[in-house]
Amino acid sequence: MDLANRKKELVEEFSPMIVKTSLWGKLWIGGLIAIILVGLYAFFVQIQKGHEITGMRDNVVWGIYIINFIFFVGISYSGAFISGILHFYETSWKNSISRIIEIMTVLSLVIGPIFILLCIGRLDRLHYLFLYPRIQSPITWDIIAIMTDLIGCFIYLLLTFIPDFAILRDSKELEIPSWRRKMYKFLAIGYKDTPTQSKRLHKIKNIMSAMIIALAIVAYTVLAWIFSLTLQPGWNSTIFATYFIIAGLYSGVSVIIISMYVIRRVYKLENYLKKIHFIGAGIVLLVISLLYGYFTFSEYFAKWFSHKTSDTNLLNTLFGRYFWEFILANYIGIIIPIIILFFKKLRTIKSITFAAIVAVLGMWLNRYIIVVPTLETPFLPIQDTRTEYLFYSATWVEFALSFAGIAAFFLFFTLLIKLVPIIPMSGIIEHERKVIKKTKNYTDGLE
Amino acid sequence: MENNKTEKETDRRKFLKLGLLSSVSVVAGTSLVSNLASVDEKLQSEKIRLLTPEGKIVEVDATNINKYPEAHITPTESRKGIPNRKFVMVIDLAKCNNARSCVESCQKAHQLDYHDEFMKILLIQNNEEDAPYWFPKPCFHCDEPPCVTVCPTGATFKRDDNIVLVDNNRCIGCKFCITSCPYSARIFNWGHKAKFDNKDIPYSPETGIPGTEGTVMKCDFCPDLLRQGELPHCAKACPMGVIYFGDKNEDIVTNGIETLRFSKLIKDRVGYRHLEHLGTKPNVYYLPAVNRDFPLERGLDKDEEILERYKNVPFIEEFIKSSKI
């Protein structure tokens, strides 16, 4: 195989993606920036007027900020988990999706914690967490876990980028401004794809991928503990950490499927993102949705069957005020994906993507169901006349910032795809190299 | 051991005489105790000798002595607690008629708004057959406080004298303590208020004044008053003598009207702690609402807004129905 030629071919194939931006692409980016700007305005309003501007009050002190935080960190955890595992598989199909997952992992782990910051009353005192740290607080564990996870995932992402940066740096035909070429040169940190270098890179990636699996599980477990280590009736559950681990995968795999669908459509990557990927991811989602449904059922069934007063009160809230949310999150959001993914005939690219969308929305609502009704149903009855203190409803500020977070996720995703091709060129080359080596060994053996 | 015992004995006698006056400042130390006891007997104009924190003996006017504990307690000092004390509160549910004097005096002292209550009065009816009762609920100052465990910066802390305080200079406003408190004892300053800007009085966690935006606050057992040998505002204000306050070390509680032995009171009246099964070990005890001094309805003679709070209690639902028809 002529390596240089193959690299050139690949660069040529993917160059439209990273060089040009279509009118629609520009509109898309502009729209996302506009949403983020609205979010920034909302943030300044919140800073100026205080948390009074949000729907949070003394009983429901955590609202959709925390829900978004759990949601995004969940996506990140499952991304790290899956990309860590994928690294150890030697298949050609993983190349098409590995980068999508890695980018998703890092971006959601950057955006998730921003939401927790929005929830903090005194942002100006954030450094107190490091000035006066108290190790027995689960928040301190969470900070340590998430920061380590973020660093780990970021390094891993960078490692997967390096060979591609090197290819882009070396391709003279690529019509990019010189600053970008300089940037590639800088980011490739002298990688020349020599056998020693690639061997070393592979070794580091092996270590890192094993590490990020562990880091991600720890980070999401600790996040679940923030809830389950309290005495609150809806949270104080021994299965919460495992439940969160499964739930995180549920939303993570769904987001992967949705991203695959969008990227395939937008960048016309039908050759790379094939139906087999959707079927594969769909079956993984099916298994996880069954597990997730099982955990959800166990969680509420135990509460209903043993009917402690505090649990009964919570269930009354859930099946009273939150009836439809509960049905949508924990029935529709689980059963619809299971039905679609269970029957072979129903498994088309579109239907699998639809199942994934239902799963993601159901998942977000499930987090809402976990956080808000619990806080509205404390041990001692809330005896208050102020409706905003009795029931939580998010204000425009909270929604604006939530949408800004989602928009930021899309924006950074789009920009990162502009930086490096969404299909890792180095991965393709590496795989082809291995195939040639194997056939050569085979033919050598025959002689 | 022996020495400790005699010290306790003298304390107890004094306690009986002066109520809670025996509480002393951390700074002044125990030397002040013996002097204080003698002061009361003798003429007020007399000069007495005191030991300063530096170890010097000084002579001061006896009338000035009680003012000393009013000295400003800094956030660092407030972490220590008053030596040799284990404060405890006993709330006699049989006496409460929802007069709300405790709530109001607490709000006044802590500069709280109408709806911000460190002391809340709930109307509890455990089941439909059960007789409802008024349930004054301060912070329980638990021995195993979940709020203190989860605080990431140590802004809320447990002192040796049983009190759990919040240092709002340290609080970052993560609200984890609020979600972890099973008694909903904590409230949050959601927005800015003009009174927070009042810097006339230096801030002390012992008074909680002035408040700070974006931080947590709660009932503090009024350590500023305890240092002066007085009862907390709620206990002082209650016209029915519902709230007894005292020291577990001395085994004494008082509501300002009568002074009782704590252990005997709890045993005789079958005192209990709310939601004992949660394992938080509260330092607020309740005496069951048996042989009540007042019918419950006495507490319903309140503003409409106050009554509105209890509308979900089965008893009130029926009460409203019957009074309307």
Per residue in A177-195, pLDDT (tens digit) is: 889 889 999 999 999 888 8
Per residue in A295-327, pLDDT (tens digit) is: 999 999 999 999 999 999 999 999 999 999 999
Query: Tell me, what's the pLDDT at A209?
Result: 93
Of B155, B214, B280, the CB nearest to A51: B214
pLDDT value at A160 more than 70? yes
Of B179, B214, B309, the CB nearest to A384: B309
Average pLDDT over residues A279-285: 95
Nearest C-alpha of chain A: how many angstroms from B229? Answer: 32
Per residue in B160-219, pLDDT (tens digit) is: 999 999 999 999 999 999 999 999 999 999 999 999 998 888 899 999 989 999 999 999
Chain A interface test: which of B121, B147, B150 (most A C-beta within 10 Å): B150
B residues 215-254 lying closer than 8 A (beta carbon) to A: 215
Per residue in A348-374, is it b (16+ CB within 10 Å) or e — as a string?
Answer: ebebbbbbbbbbbbbbbbbbbbbbbbb
In the structure, what pLDDT confidence band is assigned to residue B65 with cuts at 50, 70 and 90? Answer: low
Per residue in B45-55, pLDDT (tens digit) is: 677 777 776 77
Per residue in A78-97, pLDDT (tens digit) is: 999 999 999 888 778 888 89
Task: Give the DSSP letter of residue B113.
Answer: -
Instruction: For A150-177, give the secondary structure using H, E and C.
Output: HHHHHHHHHHHHHHHHHHHHHCCCCCCC
Distance spanning both ends of chain A, measured CA to CA: 21
Per residue in A191-200, is it b (16+ CB within 10 Å) or e — as a string?
Answer: bebeeeebee
Assign A432 to helix, strand or coil.
Answer: helix
Query: Tell me, what's the pLDDT at B17?
Result: 40
Which stretch of A21-35, A151-165, A317-331, B68-82 has the lowest confidence by average pLDDT? B68-82
pLDDT value at A150 more than 60? yes
pLDDT value at B325 more than 80? no
Average pLDDT over residues A20-26: 89
Q: Does residue B16 belong to the interface with chain A, where contact is any CB pair within 8 Å? A: no
Query: In A, which residues are within 8 Å of B196 by CB distance?
Result: none
Q: For chains A and B, what is the number of CB pairs under 8 angstroms?
A: 136
Q: Does residue B75 belong to the interface with chain A, where contact is any CB pair within 8 Å? A: no
Q: Does residue B198 belong to the interface with chain A, where contact is any CB pair within 8 Å? A: no
Domains of chain B: 2-72 (no CATH), 87-287 (3.30.70.20)
Query: In B, which residues are within 8 Å of A310 by CB distance?
Result: none
Instruction: Kindly list the distances between the CA atom of residue A373 and the CA atoms of A55, A320, A369, B269, in Å, as whole numbers in the listed order.
Output: 14, 10, 6, 37
Bridge partners, B261 (sequence order):
B252
Minimum Cα–Cα distance from A387: chain B residue: B309
Query: In A, which residues are within 8 Å of B124 by CB distance?
Result: 381
Contact A232 B182 (CB under 8 A): yes
Query: Is residue A25 within 8 Å of residue B138, measured between CB atoms?
Result: no
pTM: 0.88
CA dist., res. B321 & res. A402, Å (int):
45
Minimum Cα–Cα distance from B148: chain A residue: A137
Q: How far is CA B120 from the centre of its chain?
A: 13
Reported ipTM: the value is: 0.91
Residue A295 tokens read as: 């955990």
Query: Tell me, what's the pLDDT at B124?
Result: 94
Give chain A's contact residues with B (Cβ, < 8 Å).
49-53, 56-59, 61-62, 119-122, 125-126, 128-129, 131-134, 136-140, 143, 226, 229-232, 375, 378-386, 389
In the structure, what pLDDT confidence band is assigned to residue B24 with cuts at 50, 70 and 90? Answer: very low
Residue B144 tokens read as: 């195993």
Query: Is residue B95 within 8 Å of residue B121, measured between CB atoms?
Result: no
* Percent share of chain B, pLDDT over 70: 82
Query: Tell me, what's the pLDDT at A18?
Result: 83
Instruction: Kindly list the distances between the CA atom of residue A50 and the CA atoms of A44, A136, B3, B192, in Å, as whole numbers in the listed order.
Output: 9, 29, 55, 7
Contact A230 B180 (CB under 8 A): yes
Contact A232 B179 (CB under 8 A): yes
Query: Is residue B62 within 8 Å of residue B48, measured between CB atoms?
Result: yes
Residue ranges per domain, chain A? Answer: 232-378
Query: Tell me, what's the pLDDT at A28?
Result: 95
Helix and strand counts by DSSP (H, E) for chain B: 10, 13
Amino acid at B291: N
Q: Does residue B127 belong to the interface with chain A, where contact is any CB pair within 8 Å? A: no
Q: Does residue B177 belong to the interface with chain A, where contact is any CB pair within 8 Å? A: no
Q: E strands within A47-169?
A: none
Mean pLDDT of chain A: 93
In the structure, what pLDDT confidence band is assigned to residue B70 with cuts at 50, 70 and 90? Answer: low
**Torsion sign, CA atoms A395, A401, A406, A410:** positive
Query: Is residue B90 within 8 Å of residue B262, measured between CB atoms?
Result: yes
Contact B150 A139 (CB under 8 A): yes
Q: Does residue B100 belong to the interface with chain A, where contact is any CB pair within 8 Å? A: no
Per residue in B142-156, pLDDT (tens digit) is: 999 999 999 999 999
Query: Tell me, what's the pLDDT at B69?
Result: 52
pLDDT value at B277 more than 50? yes
- Higher pLDDT pick, B64 / A152: A152
CA dist., res. A51 & res. A64, Å (int):
13
Per residue in A401-422, pLDDT (tens digit) is: 999 999 999 999 999 999 999 9
Bridge partners, B120 (sequence order):
B137
Which stretch of A28-37, A252-261, B74-83 has the lowest confidence by average pLDDT? B74-83
Minimum Cα–Cα distance from B155: chain A residue: A132
Mean pLDDT of chain B: 84
Enumerate the H helices of chain B as residue ranges.
Answer: 2-18, 31-41, 101-109, 146-150, 176-180, 223-227, 233-237, 262-268, 304-308, 314-324
Q: Does residue B178 belong to the interface with chain A, where contact is any CB pair within 8 Å? A: yes
Q: Following CA atoms A319, A324, A330, A335 in sequence, which dihedral angle do they give, to the nearest 10 degrees?
A: 130
In the structure, what pLDDT confidence band is assigned to residue B39 with cuts at 50, 70 and 90? Answer: very low
In the structure, what pLDDT confidence band is assigned to residue B254 with cuts at 50, 70 and 90? Answer: very high
Contact A122 B214 (CB under 8 A): yes
Nearest C-alpha of chain B: how many angstroms from A162? Answer: 38
Average pLDDT over residues A261-273: 91
In the structure, what pLDDT confidence band is assigned to residue A438 with cuts at 50, 70 and 90? Answer: confident
Q: Does residue B137 belong to the interface with chain A, where contact is any CB pair within 8 Å? A: yes
In the structure, what pLDDT confidence band is assigned to residue A433 with cuts at 50, 70 and 90? Answer: confident
Query: Is residue B180 within 8 Å of residue A230, measured between CB atoms?
Result: yes
Average pLDDT over residues B228-238: 94
Name the residue among B260, B244, B299 with its Cα closest to residue B98: B299
Instruction: Kindly list the distances between the CA atom of residue A413 and the CA atoms of A5, A296, A434, B136, in Å, as whole numbers in the listed order.
Output: 29, 32, 30, 54
Minimum Cα–Cα distance from B180: chain A residue: A230
**Residues comprising chain B, all counted:** 325
Nearest C-alpha of chain A: how many angstroms from B316? Answer: 12
Average pLDDT over residues A170-175: 83
Assign B121 to helix, strand or coil.
Answer: strand
Bridge partners, B136 (sequence order):
B121
Look up tokens 């993570």; give the residue: A252
Bridge partners, B287 (sequence order):
B92
Query: Tell me, what's the pLDDT at B230?
Result: 93
Q: Does residue B175 belong to the interface with chain A, where contact is any CB pair within 8 Å? A: yes
Q: How far is CA B209 from the centre of its chain?
A: 16
Minimum Cα–Cα distance from A59: chain B residue: B184
Q: Does residue B307 belong to the interface with chain A, where contact is any CB pair within 8 Å? A: no
CA dist., res. A371 & res. B132, Å (int):
30
Query: Tell me, what's the pLDDT at B48?
Result: 74
Nearest C-alpha of chain B: how many angstroms from A11? Answer: 48
